[in-house]
Chain A
Amino acid sequence: GENVEQHPSTLSVQEGDSAVIKCTYSDSASNYFPWYKQELGKRPQLIIDIRSNVGEKKDQRIAVTLNKTAKHFSLHITETQPEDSAVYFCAACTQGGSEKLVFGKGTKLTVNP
């Protein structure tokens, strides 16, 4: 089955710096790659996603890139703010749909003022 590896497990940056989180997946049939943000004690919430027919997607300060050949995708956050502090999860989806997401183990991002 699918396996998703996520790095780093913790990331600390200064406010205004950029943050990059990387994930690799094992199943070449995976076709959907969402990123979720989870604040302490809250539910995971989708912040951006990308499909396998797209190489890059941006939404304001957040971007995701996908390299299908290398089977890895990355989350880029620019101009980080303290409210970006949270745990971020990448996920991959193979056959079917988002009912069978396989998640990475998460990255705890801390943005220091």
Chain B
Amino acid sequence: NAGVTQTPKFQVLKTGQSMTLQCAQDMNHEYMSWYRQDPGMGLRLIHYSVGAGITDQGEVPNGYNVSRSTTEDFPLRLLSAAPSQTSVYFCASTLTEGVSEAFFGQGTRLTVV
């Protein structure tokens, strides 16, 4: 199993551009989440999904959209990139049953200039 795979690993965007960060998992996990990590801020939840067709907002959802058309994929879309969205983005997945470990992808380092 590859686990949780994120692409790209690095990206530079200009202010106002849009892009999609990809996340895929092959563990048949129902739950998936997106976090952003900024220096001194820990990880903050952007959006999450408890199954295909179901998404919800986390702590910092503004400027981001998500969709969940399949169990495996959970892309994160930046609608109009801003310098404040410069961050490291992590996707995570977890089993449905009870409360269990969240597995993280390797991260995407995004710089908005």
* Listed residue (A6, A44, A51) with the most chain B CB atoms within 10 angstroms of its CB: A44
The residue in chain A whose Cβ has the minimal distance to the Cβ of B96 is: A97
Say whether A43 contacts B94, CB under 8 Å: no
Report the bound CA distance from A98 to B109 in whole Å: 23
Which residues of the partner chain B approach A97 to less than 8 Å between Cβ atoms?
Answer: 31, 94-96, 98-100
The residue in chain B whose Cβ has the minimal distance to the Cβ of A96 is: B50
Report the bound CA distance from A100 to B58 in whole Å: 7
For A, the interface residue count at a CB cutoff of 8 angstroms equals 26
Report the bound CA distance from A9 to B49 in whole Å: 31
Shortest Cβ distance from residue A101 to the other chain B in the assembled complex, whole angstroms: 6
Report the bound CA distance from A45 to B45 in whole Å: 17
Report the bound CA distance from A99 to B95 in whole Å: 9
The residue in chain B whose Cβ has the minimal distance to the Cβ of A45 is: B104
Say whether A98 contacts B107, CB under 8 Å: no
For the side of the interface on B, what is the size category? 20 to 34
Shortest Cβ distance from residue A49 to the other chain B in the assembled complex, whole angstroms: 7
Say whether B41 contacts A43, CB under 8 Å: no
- A46-B102, A93-B99 are contacts. A100–B42 as well, Cβ < 8 Å? no
Shortest Cβ distance from residue A12 to the other chain B in the assembled complex, whole angstroms: 17
Say whether A43 contacts B101, CB under 8 Å: no
Partner of A99, one of B33, B104, B107: B33
Say whether A103 contacts B42, CB under 8 Å: yes
Q: List 12 A-B contacts (CB under 8 A).
A: A44-B43, A45-B104, A46-B102, A49-B101, A51-B99, A93-B99, A98-B102, A99-B102, A101-B45, A103-B42, A103-B43, A106-B42
Q: Report which A residues bind B (CB closer than 8 A).
A: 1, 6, 9, 31-32, 34, 42-46, 49, 51, 89, 93, 96-106
Q: Report which B residues bind A (CB closer than 8 A).
A: 31-33, 35, 40-45, 48-50, 58-59, 90, 92, 94-96, 98-102, 104-107
> Knowing that A32-B99, A46-B102 are A-B contacts, what are 13 other residue pairs whose CB atoms are under 8 Å apart, sorted by A's residue number?
A9-B40, A43-B104, A43-B107, A97-B99, A98-B94, A99-B31, A99-B48, A102-B45, A102-B59, A103-B44, A105-B42, A106-B40, A106-B42
